[in-house]
Amino acid sequence: MAKVPKLPDPTKNPDWKIAQAAERYMKPIKQIGEELGLTEEELLLHGHYVAKVDYKKVLERLKDRPDGKYIDVTAITPTPLGEGKSTTTMGLLQGMGRLGLNVTAAIRQPSGGPTMNIKGSAAGGGLAQCIPLTPFSLGLTGDINAIMNAHNLAMVALTARMQHERNYTDEQLRRLSKMKRLNIDPTRVEMGWVIDFCAQALRHIIIGIDRGNKYNGYMMESKFGIAVSSEVMAILAVATDLKDMRERMGKIVVAYDKKGDPITTEDLQVAGAMTAWMVEALNPNLLQSLEGQPVFVHAGPFANIAIGQSSIIADRVALKLSDYHITESGFGADIGFEKFWNLKCRYSGLKPHCAVVVATIRALKCHGGAPIPVPGKPMPPEYSKENVGWVEKGCENLIHHINTVKKAGINPVVCINAFYTDTKDEINAVRRLAEQAGARVAVSRHWEKGGEGAIEFAEAVVDACKEKNRFRFLYDLKLPLRKRIEKIAKEVYGAAGVDYSAEAEAKAKRIEEDPELSQLGTCMVKTHLSLSDNPNLKGVPKGWRLFVRDILTYGGAGFVVPVAGTISLMPGTGSNPAYRRVDVDVKTGKVKGLF
């Protein structure tokens, strides 16, 4: 193991300063690739410290090599400030590295939305980070840009087609472009546009205002979502190769015709061009931790409004290259882990050996009765003072998530993501209650001490991987959609039942009657701030009913998307966003203020 450099104290320095200090000691990415066992032609350089990996060549060369142990990182229901899953993923990677193990990790590429909003980047924190921070946080190798272009090209094709069908007769359409009229229903356009920022002003818009010129577009209501909520991002997460991606891209439902039949990207003859934008994006990105371990970065965040998983391709490549591979699922086990369990593992065929449930004392206090933190404002002082009662009450939420992981037949390890303000009695209360619930428990101080502080945690995960588990899905795809939603709501969220808007009920019935759509997976959209669909209900709410207001069809990604509560696919920018603190040192060109 390489010597670990002395870095700034995280209790006194922001994450970006620590990252910049660590970047002076970074290994060239060619060295990371060589240590990982990649050949020169498999490593596609993007400068000195970032590369893409030619997944196809790696998987072909190592097709007969057994996979390593597969570890998922999830969490309890987080505070609005997050639980530190990326930090914990990096901490576990560094801790296992300290044990001398051949280990990799895969995390999701951050969205520009949270990076420039309240949460900041998703590189980890303290002495457990992925570097280099600036390219990681600001576009990396262009995957999200490719997703935006591919997605928006579908909308360009749709709106152009609608304009031409309005302006020309059937004969003119055939003569000018050999097109057959699709009779698109302007009131049933499924897709909108995407942008990678939190832009609430774009949630509901009018486009195509002609100003007296019929060639200016087709006027209709439209919308924007955040880029990572795009079905194209979901396809990147679940695709197994380019052929699979191309087939999925052609199945995206963009709108419906006036008879109620779907209009796909293949019908619009745009699926091939969309895939062309995504060819390079299919190769996962390779970076490193603060302590020089390999980190794959691929696909995007937001398991509350998307699938929120690092990609199947990144995991498959890493499992061939390492003895242990850690992958990250978004938000709490009720949404991120549930999608990892019932969607990602179903499509990949991979079975995890262990799942980590991250918990912080501050989040347990939040679930136990402490004042709810407000994004952009200082943490209430109660969170830095001992209150074992709040912690014990909050452990009801932790135990609920432990039981969710156990339903999948996976061995849970609770990681107490410790901070210097946590007390011995608070930590002991969590350990006692989690062990009573049947989980291994480890305290990890990776944020403060890096890999050295994660040794106990790493040993617990290695120990859990030695045990056999009985992995099983929560539902069979033959189960009707509404029964499936009810099963997720009751067994994972703890709901008393499910209610539907009239529109969602009609869509559910239509899906259940369709031989193809009825076999798609189920990707729930729900707030991450509560087990319920109400972000203000903490702990383990009782007696509530899940309200499904809409159901979207992601035919290309391979799932239907029930939308619960009031959650939006376009988050809003807060009153004190992170971009106010981001700037550039004009002498060195270095970006500062990312955190």
Structure tokens at 192: 């909108």
What per-residue confidence (pLDDT) applies to 373? 84
DSSP string for 534-573: -TT--SS--S-EEEEEEEEEETTTTEEEEEETT--SS---
Which residues have a Cβ under 8 Å from the Cβ of 174 and sit 6 or more positions away?
180
Topology of the domain comprising 481-564? Formyltetrahydrofolate synthetase; domain 3 (3.10.410)
Other CB atoms within 10 Å distance of the CB of residue 483: 12
Distance, CA of 99 to CA of 583 (rounded, Å): 38
- Angstrom distance (rounded) from CA 579 to CA 329: 26
How far apart CA 299 and CA 307 sit, in angstroms, is 10
Find the radius of gyration of the CA atoms of the chain.
24
335 CB contacts (<8 Å, ≥6 apart)? Answer: 303, 304, 308, 524, 526, 528
Q: Which residues are catalytic?
A: 85, 87, 108, 119, 303, 331, 419, 447
Do the Cβ atoms of 128 and 450 come closer than 8 Å?
yes
Q: What's the one-letter identity of residue 565?
A: G
C-alpha distances out from residue 454 to 95, 255, 313, 461, 481, Å: 5, 49, 27, 11, 42
Task: Lay out the sheet containing 253-257: strands in order across.
Answer: 184-189, 253-257, 262-264
Asked if 497 and 548 touch (Cβ cutoff 8 Å), the reply is no
- Per the CB < 8 A criterion, the answer to whether 383 and 362 are in contact is yes
Q: Which amino acid is at 45?
A: L
CA 433 and chain centroid, separation: 29
Cross-strand bridge partners of residue 256: 262
Is residue 80 helix, strand or coil?
coil
| Structural domain boundaries in the chain | 143-232+249-272, 481-564
| Beta-ladder partners of 355 | 72, 412
Residue 545: predicted pLDDT: 98
Distance CA 346, CA 368 (A): 35
- CA 520 vs CA 306, 321, 401, 514: distances in Å: 15, 31, 25, 10
> In one letter, which amino acid is 175?
R
Q: At 558, list the tokens.
A: 């391979």
User: Cis omega before residue 132 (within 30°)?
Assistant: yes
**Residue 533 and residue 215: Cα distance in Å, rounded?**
43
270 in Cβ contact with 246 (< 8 Å): no
Q: In Å, how far are 38, 63, 80 from 318, measured between CA atoms? A: 11, 12, 31
Inter-CA distances, 356 with 458, 462, 560, Å: 11, 11, 27
Q: Are 257 and 242 in contact (CB under 8 A)?
A: no
- Give residue 432's pLDDT: 98
Q: Residue 550 in contact with residue 501, Cβ under 8 Å? A: yes
Q: 176 and 170 in contact (C-beta within 8 Å)?
A: no
Q: The domain 143-232+249-272 is classified under which CATH number: 1.20.1260.10, 3.30.1510.10, 3.50.50.60, 3.30.70.2860?
A: 3.30.1510.10
Q: Of 333, 340, 353, 288, which Cα lies nearest the Cα of 312?
A: 340
pLDDT of residue 376: 66
pTM of the model: 0.94
Please list the ranges in the chain whose pLDDT falls under 50. none
